[in-house]
A and B are shown apart, each in its own frame.
Chain A
Amino acid sequence: MKRFVIVPLLVLLITLLSGISLAQAPQYGGVLRRSLINDPPTLDPAMITDTASDEVARQIFDGLVEYDSEGRIVPVIAKSWSISKDGLTYTFYLRDDVYFHNGRKVTAEDFVYSIKRIMDPKTASPRANFAEPIKDVKAKSKYILEITLKEPFAPFLSTLTYSCFWVVPKEVVEKLGKDFATNPVGTGAYMFEEWKHDVKIRLKANLKYFRGRPYTDAIEWSIIPDEQVDFLNFEKGLLDITGIPDTEWDRVINDPKYKPYIISKPILGIYYLGFNLKKKPLDNKYLRWAIARAINKEEIVRVIRRNRAEVAYTILPPNMPGFSRGIYNWAKENLSYNVEEAKKLLEKAGYPGGRGLPELTIFYNTSRAHQRIMEAIQANLAEIGIKAKLQNYDWAVYLDLLDKGELSIFRLGWVADYIDPDNFLWVLFNSQNFGEAGNHTFYKNPKVDELTDKARKITNWNVRVKYYNEAERLILEDLPIIPIFYYVSQPIHQPWVHGLYVDPLTGLSGVRYRVVWLSKR
């Protein structure tokens, strides 16, 4: 009889204990093991342009503000801020308990130095354009910083989340010169410890971090250039978080061992096909529409991308503030795959059945993944009688030719630098930005120029959204680009990794690992 009592008691006890372990509190300790596909070129915030450098430097440095995991702007070193009514003066009230890793306290002067460093042409910061709206920056007191703009610029606070605005210590930067890029000193949750080029980078926890010490004792990135080998390392349990190669995707997503640990989240990026509007016959709007309706994006996403993306119809991705469901529905109805409509549009363009249309060239930068997508598009176009050939260049040459406007139809991607429609609609479609500044289609619509110019100067969000929606609708009607898909980030982690999220802007590379903790491996 006793046994009948003991057994249920034991079961209850085990259940309770497992319940406790399921809801366990975050633990300190352990080393988080990550990988990078290449050695980061630089860890100097003023010089960062790539995701590998950004991922590492993000743990070492802080700025005035940052995005949280939901993409909201939250204070970091700035406790609070105020914006003058004319939208020209931003006053930041800084925390007085922030220290650089060399032990010195951070003051407003440090931000003055860091921001002026970006603005200084001698620094040749590739991100100097982010400081373009700034007229002046000064320290009003030890912990009050004032930034004045040349003219109102609504997304300014958002741009301050960007890596180039992270604070750096003047004395270290000036002492080390160019070597600061390999010996970074910041204020962040982790401190630089070791860097063996092309082998590994190691950061250790900043135990005195002003937002509380990070959970793990260290982060170690191994440099693994081959993604297949990288994934073997993950499967072996030697890496805690990684990406999944396309070739492994079907196996991994169908494996119950891995499935619960894949995080899937759209990021603010778009993959598109662009038209150089200076080139004939691409200046023909009906031809562009015909091409748009001939492309089977759903099939590209399903078959080639293996559903690792979302079919795009609009320029602004759905999770971008200002995204309009109305425009999305309109674009989905009017611009999606429809061979009959495509044929009619081609006829309207003056090329019935493709007759009279010269052979088009679709350009892409050398990559097997891009090639497969472009081949699908080529086959789609052939269905309505458009002959197209494919041509590829390596990335450096490709960018150069794009800037010079030499490519007629091209593929390109755009991932937001800051969470604001301005970063898509103004950068890519305003005629001030022809060529290398972002408008590679050389699209010029005075109404779109006016709307996107006005929208960046007003602070009223509702009015801005109205302008952006109007501009986006006009752009989609003109169709200088055909949105193909929105990017989705899909990292995988080990069961012992907790607190991981995907950054809404850049995916895995934008994660702040201080919130990630490890249970027993």
Chain B
Amino acid sequence: MYRYFIRRLIQSIPVFIGVSLITFALFYIAPGDPARLIAGQRADPEVLVQIRKSWGLDQPWYIQYIRFLGRIVRLDFGRSFKTNIPVLESILERLKATAILALFSFIIAVGIGVSAGVISAVKQYSIFDYSAMVIALLGVSAPVYWIGIILLLIFGFKLGWFPLGGYVSEYGLKAVILPAIALGTRPAAYFARLSRSSMLEVIRQEYIITARAKGVPEKIVIFKHALRNALIPVVTYAGMVIGDLLTGAVLTETIFAWPGLGRLTVQGILDRDLPVIQGTVIFIAFIYIIANLLVDISYAFIDPRIRYE
């Protein structure tokens, strides 16, 4: 297990290098001059030359890339073109906000989604099952910004129960509820559908029928024998969801004025802020690799049939 963990970590190094190279190349090939963006529409040509020089943009691509890799090793992503703030500082500052939002969204998604899915499977073709699946369908189809605005309009503006956007330290935990619901709705819907189908598949298997025939109480059959196996695909999806929640909450963060990583990334892209784009992409890749690793390891705990060499 320990060896497997180390091996997987080492395997991620080429992935990192690949990610860094692709990020760098995409930016380098794309048209548009970052110096122009820093200087604005009415820039002085001499200043543009100076800016390119001071940011090292006048160097050949391989020099820029090697410098960039060298900095990553030292955990230095450079300073933002636009704000001059160290990128790592910005990432860590935003990561905290995003992590809080992701955690609450995850709890909502798993809590509501998995319970609804399991109950639907156990009570297949009941009213609960039909309603849960219709709601899940809506949850999957509704865009997150629409859900966000509707939640804000009803619970923030009309009822006044929650703040109209903002961050936890400003408004306490109340601030996280609406964005977490908005962000958690879609994964909750997926969890519900996935755990329902997975559960249905498992409870039809022979060992469950055997357990029931042996007179094992239904609760034990469901929770001990069926649920554990049914959760394997759910855990795989959970790993992906964690990565998505940590990195992809762009729209939610915009609507709820949530100062997270998603907003930082998108602002970096809009500003063509090379250090911010590179820093956030590398960081996001890191999160995905770790999330996948954790998912693989968690299999062993859930399913005793899986053992790692």
Residues of B contacting A236 with CB < 8 Å? 156-157, 160, 164
On whether the beta carbons of A49 and B40 are closer than 8 Å, the reply is yes
On whether the beta carbons of B40 and A182 are closer than 8 Å, the reply is no
Residues of A contacting B254 with CB < 8 Å? 225-226
On whether the beta carbons of B259 and A198 are closer than 8 Å, the reply is yes
Whether A333 is near chain B, meaning CB under 8 Å from some CB there, is no
Comparing A104-112, A258-266, A397-405, A442-450, the segment that makes contact with chain B is A397-405
Comparing A126-134, A203-211, A475-483, the segment that makes contact with chain B is A126-134
CB 8 Å contact bits of A394-433 with B (1 = contact, 0 = none) = 1111011101000000000000010000000001000000
On whether the beta carbons of A396 and B85 are closer than 8 Å, the reply is no
**What is the bound-complex CA distance between A317 and B271, given in angstroms?**
30
Interface centre among B37, B43, B46, B270 (most CB of A within 10 A): B43
On whether the beta carbons of A399 and B83 are closer than 8 Å, the reply is no
Residues of B contacting A128 with CB < 8 Å? 44, 46-47
On whether the beta carbons of B84 and A42 are closer than 8 Å, the reply is yes
On whether the beta carbons of B263 and A225 are closer than 8 Å, the reply is yes
For window 218-258 of A, CB contacts with B under 8 Å fall at 222-226, 228-229, 232-233, 235-236, 238
Residues of A contacting B270 with CB < 8 Å? 394-395
On whether the beta carbons of B42 and A129 are closer than 8 Å, the reply is yes
**What is the bound-complex CA distance between A507 and B228, given in angstroms?**
62
**What is the bound-complex CA distance between A401 and B263, given in angstroms?**
27
On whether the beta carbons of B47 and A436 are closer than 8 Å, the reply is no
Residues of A contacting B84 with CB < 8 Å? 42, 178-179, 181-182
Whether B257 is near chain A, meaning CB under 8 Å from some CB there, is yes
Whether B187 is near chain A, meaning CB under 8 Å from some CB there, is no
Q: A126-B39, A129-B42, A197-B85 are in contact. Are A400 and B165 (CB under 8 A)?
A: no
**What is the bound-complex CA distance between A178 and B149, given in angstroms?**
38
Whether A196 is near chain B, meaning CB under 8 Å from some CB there, is yes
Nearest chain A residue, comparing its CB with the CB of B93: A197
Whether B201 is near chain A, meaning CB under 8 Å from some CB there, is no
Residues of B contacting A417 with CB < 8 Å? 42
**What is the bound-complex CA distance between A39 and B83, given in angstroms?**
9
Residues of B contacting A74 with CB < 8 Å? none
**What is the bound-complex CA distance between A393 and B167, given in angstroms?**
33
Residues of B contacting A178 with CB < 8 Å? 79, 84
Whether B38 is near chain A, meaning CB under 8 Å from some CB there, is yes
Residues of A contacting B267 with CB < 8 Å? 38-39
**What is the bound-complex CA distance between A400 and B32, given in angstroms?**
5
On whether the beta carbons of A181 and B257 are closer than 8 Å, the reply is no
Q: A197-B85, A235-B157 are in contact. Are A399 and B36 (CB under 8 A)?
A: yes
**What is the bound-complex CA distance between A235 and B263, given in angstroms?**
25
Shortest CB–CB separation between residue A39 and chain B, in angstroms?
7
Nearest chain A residue, comparing its CB with the CB of B31: A397
Residues of B contacting A436 with CB < 8 Å? 36, 43, 45, 48
Q: A200-B170, A225-B257, A396-B36 are in contact. Are A438 and B42 (CB under 8 A)?
A: yes
For window 141-158 of B, CB contacts with A under 8 Å fall at 149, 152-153, 156-157
Residues of B contacting A125 with CB < 8 Å? 47
Q: A229-B165, A396-B272 are in contact. Are A126 and B38 (CB under 8 A)?
A: yes
Whether A50 is near chain B, meaning CB under 8 Å from some CB there, is yes
On whether the beta carbons of A49 and B36 are closer than 8 Å, the reply is no
**What is the bound-complex CA distance between A370 and B257, given in angstroms?**
25
CB 8 Å contact bits of B63-84 with A (1 = contact, 0 = none) = 0000000000000000100111
Nearest chain B residue, comparing its CB with the CB of A50: B40
On whether the beta carbons of B259 and A228 are closer than 8 Å, the reply is no
Whether B255 is near chain A, meaning CB under 8 Å from some CB there, is yes
**What is the bound-complex CA distance between A235 and B259, given in angstroms?**
23
Residues of B contacting A198 with CB < 8 Å? 94, 257, 259, 263-264
**What is the bound-complex CA distance between A232 and B166, given in angstroms?**
13
On whether the beta carbons of A226 and B90 are closer than 8 Å, the reply is no
Residues of A contacting B32 with CB < 8 Å? 394, 396-397, 399-400
Q: A41-B82, A50-B40, A225-B263 are in contact. Are A121 and B257 (CB under 8 A)?
A: no
On whether the beta carbons of B167 and A129 are closer than 8 Å, the reply is no
**What is the bound-complex CA distance between A229 and B54, given in angstroms?**
39
Shortest CB–CB separation between residue B271 and chain A, in angstroms?
8
On whether the beta carbons of B259 and A129 are closer than 8 Å, the reply is no
Shortest CB–CB separation between residue B9 and chain A, in angstroms?
32
**What is the bound-complex CA distance between A129 and B42, given in angstroms?**
9
On whether the beta carbons of A399 and B37 are closer than 8 Å, the reply is yes
On whether the beta carbons of B152 and A400 are closer than 8 Å, the reply is no
On whether the beta carbons of A228 and B149 are closer than 8 Å, the reply is yes
**What is the bound-complex CA distance between A501 and B47, given in angstroms?**
34
Shortest CB–CB separation between residue A432 and chain B, in angstroms?
11
Whether A382 is near chain B, meaning CB under 8 Å from some CB there, is no
Whether B127 is near chain A, meaning CB under 8 Å from some CB there, is no
Residues of B contacting A437 with CB < 8 Å? 42-45
On whether the beta carbons of B257 and A224 are closer than 8 Å, the reply is yes
Whether A16 is near chain B, meaning CB under 8 Å from some CB there, is no
**What is the bound-complex CA distance between A400 and B41, given in angstroms?**
10
Shortest CB–CB separation between residue B257 and chain A, in angstroms?
5
**What is the bound-complex CA distance between A178 and B83, given in angstroms?**
9
On whether the beta carbons of B83 and A400 are closer than 8 Å, the reply is no
On whether the beta carbons of B94 and A396 are closer than 8 Å, the reply is no
**What is the bound-complex CA distance between A198 and B98, given in angstroms?**
13
**What is the bound-complex CA distance between A49 and B42, given in angstroms?**
9
**What is the bound-complex CA distance between A437 and B40, given in angstroms?**
10
Residues of B contacting A303 with CB < 8 Å? none
Residues of B contacting A200 with CB < 8 Å? 170
On whether the beta carbons of A223 and B259 are closer than 8 Å, the reply is yes
Shortest CB–CB separation between residue A81 and chain B, in angstroms?
26
Interface centre among B42, B50, B160, B169 (most CB of A within 10 A): B42
Whether A124 is near chain B, meaning CB under 8 Å from some CB there, is yes
In the complex, 16 of the A-B residue pairs with CB atoms within 8 angstroms, ordered by the A residue number, are A38-B267, A39-B83, A41-B271, A126-B40, A126-B44, A182-B85, A196-B259, A198-B264, A199-B167, A199-B170, A223-B259, A229-B165, A236-B157, A394-B32, A396-B37, A401-B31
In the complex, besides A41-B271, A182-B85, 5 extra interface pairs with C-beta distance below 8 angstroms are A124-B54, A197-B93, A224-B165, A232-B156, A427-B42
**B interface residues, Cβ below 8 angstroms from A:** 30-34, 36-48, 50-51, 54, 79, 82-85, 90, 93-94, 149, 152-153, 156-157, 160, 164-167, 169-170, 254-257, 259, 263-264, 267, 270-272
**A interface residues, Cβ below 8 angstroms from B:** 38-39, 41-42, 49-50, 121-122, 124-129, 132, 178-179, 181-182, 196-200, 222-226, 228-229, 232-233, 235-236, 238, 393-397, 399-401, 403, 417, 427, 436-438
Closest CB pairs A-B (n = 7): A198-B259, A49-B40, A129-B44, A126-B39, A396-B32, A397-B32, A124-B50
